[in-house]
A and B are shown apart, each in its own frame.
Chain A
């Protein structure tokens, strides 16, 4: 059956085999790879001493113990708003950096970019550069092709598997988990996580590649909204390059553009776009086309910078023969900077004021008050004390706001003992003599004091009495 053109919901994608290139931006990409990949794989092994009984892993998300550790910070489940804070800061940093320097994240730092880059380097080492790879793709199956393709996929799978393993190490004690994983002693959940994360690493970096940036990723869609004419982006100097045309050595450049239409910029592009068509969604801003074009300009004997990492405003200025002036401080960057400062300030302020003790008081609901035989009125409360310190603590509980009341604690005298790093729950009864709390709901403040001094925590509640 012949499928007519334009009637299919599925567009076959051509595999992009980017050519290797040397230059400034290539070096930056190598640097990003050399810093980020070891960091991802080795960070779980960093240690951080938190004292006896506490995990000594610098970065640890302890699901079973319901704690997250980041260096000196220990986050309880109810403090998950710190995660929200981190995400807000990350988003604003992305906005600010995009407005200033373009898609730096996409081009250099994103794991999709870094892993794709690594996988392409492996193909280059095992098979060869672009032309060799394209030739091998076209070639019929042979022992050589099988061996080379097999080696590439084996290496990809090893790296992806290690990626999956590294992911799981953030959720447990890495030095004990790693041998357990390798000797088959870990749980099905761990191997499942490794299979999912590793499988997607293999799939996305090995096969999907630029499709992820073009079709899946939301960031590539909205980053352009952060740009203005002063943002640094990868761009083709149309005024200088056009009209483009083939060039043979020795021909003069009078009356034509400097672009010799050699196609290097397209061949080196990891997403396969032609930057000469202008800034576009597919351009992840990695600058490899700049490296490619610069090396070609050197060979042709023309000045570098036919493709530049520059702002639209500078480009326009140069086209007019004016000196370009790059403006970092603009209303847009000021607003992003201000939002970032506020977000960081709020997080920092709440971290600094983070208490080691928290108390919640819940008034008994099943019976709001009990009338005792001598006519006095008793209220019940559940007092929960969060001890975020790694040692047992003793607290004293007091009441303010109601005079002449008695307080008793079920399962504890005046000293409320709370185990290290846990929540203590106490039933507290408050009794007021007849008449004191009649006909009203009296606000009541529970005051918790650490017996070793220092900490004082307050929680508000009510004392309920009969209407009459």
Chain B
């Protein structure tokens, strides 16, 4: 691991929607991920890494490939050691260490067995024992799973990936291995729509979706170049300069996390959500549920315990564009408000 500082999240210029979507997912992992659609070179992966960097450290067992939570998942840990690795059931509680949230990357060429995990063949041949070689989903538990070019991934892999993301559990049923382990992660996918879209069904599994573009104003572009140059020149000094803001943001995220369970929504606002989803024509109910969660998280992020109408409007822009009912061969919607206006105009 290199100790080179990571570009600070707060120093990123523009791309507010993307930053917001990422922060929302960090505050509330229940939002089931964000899909970032946009061109190359728009700071997508920088933003994800930067955000991971300011998150609070998490406790893990030392050398645990499944990243289990020592506080809540000790039983599972013992079970895995026992059944999968063949160690004594009464194993002592291993040492707990703190470490940063990781950004686990899924390469485009990843095969299914690398993603879900598979039988450790060498071990089986040498020792005649069954041992599971954990896959990327095990690594991603309690971390951020970053999937670049998710639309270019093998279809089957995407299915498997989103299935685990939705369930929070990875189940392996292959090559004589039958085993499941928790896999709850913040899923961040990126794609360039020019290279083909994801199937609607897969799109629906991503909680939020943002479409980003390169920044158009000259000043901002200059600011980006200047900051980047300063960072490349002396990364540590640059990071130090943004330290205060980063700390403030980290605090804000933590507060939002603790605030979230207390956020209340008034009933009329729930109806607003339901009506919005009905009017723009969304398949199923996942849109409603995610929209409600997003609105609540937005309120929490703002330090409120009461959802406002604006939260719902903002949530709609993040939650609905990729869910608006369409056939496999139609384009994705870009503006929810316009769609809504059109829908209500048609009704009148």
A and B found bound together: no
